[in-house]
Amino acid sequence: MKTAGIIIIGNEILSGKVTDINSPYLCKELRILGVEVRQIITIPDIPEIIGQTVRDFSEQFSWVFTSGGIGPTHDDITVASIAKGFDIELFEAPQIMKAIQNYHGDKMTAAHRRMAMIPEGSELIEYAEGRGPQLKFRNIFVFPGIPEYLKIRFASIKERFRTTPIVLKQIYLKADEGEIADSLDATMAEFPQLMLGSYPKVSGSDYDVKLTLECRDSVYLDKALNFLCERLPEECILRFE
């Protein structure tokens, strides 16, 4: 099973000035690829917190995705903080320097040049002609915070994360969660590998509860689905998807 952790970096997120839309996007895309996101955290622009958090996530998950803090301004400290967290030196990457020079030309500044500093041992993934390469350090993918840029980069390299898909079944019910709780408990006891979710709908729909059943083994999933349906009141089942 491949797992992931997502780290959103930026005081602007914690202060409410900017709304994070990168983690929902990554969660959805990774789920389609079969990767299970285990944790999402939002942290401030503090070097020690960034370095320690990224290092901890790197040890816990197959892949780590960071978002934010890789521009030319004073608060863009993600890359340097990661290097410090792993006690690794930075060096100027010729590939990134070339991309910066091609983009900015004579208007390139020392601040732009700092964006070419990356940790020793990093991998630079070329994903589109004329664009700066994607930075990968160990199992960590360092993405920009601007959603449009993050989406372009992730979409270009996402196939490298594809693994055994997670199969999904959904049941829509006309029932109260309290009426079906025993059936859900029995199903989880019998099928512990199943990912079972129950989501009540307050208004605006024809159903009261949506159940989601997920598993990487389709045969196991079908058995769990049949087991659960046998224990649900037949009259409460509206439809399957």
95-145 tens-digit pLDDT: 999 888 888 888 889 989 899 999 999 999 998 877 889 999 999 999 999
Question: In CATH terms, is domain 167-240 a member of 3.40.30.10?
Answer: no
Cα–Cα dist 192/214, whole Å: 11
Topology match between the domains 3-161 and 167-240: no
46-100 tens-digit pLDDT: 999 999 999 999 999 999 999 999 988 888 999 999 999 999 999 999 999 988 8
Number of helices (H) and strands (E) in the chain: give both, helices first: 9, 12
The pair of three-digit structure tokens given for residue 169, joined into one six-digit string: 């079944």
Q: Are 82 and 69 in contact (CB under 8 A)?
A: no
> Which H or E run contains 135?
strand 134-137
pTM of structure = 0.90
**Domain residue ranges in the chain:** 3-161, 167-240
Closest by CA position to 64, among listed 122, 8, 120: 8
Q: Which CATH class is domain 3-161?
A: alpha beta
For the chain, the average pLDDT equals 95
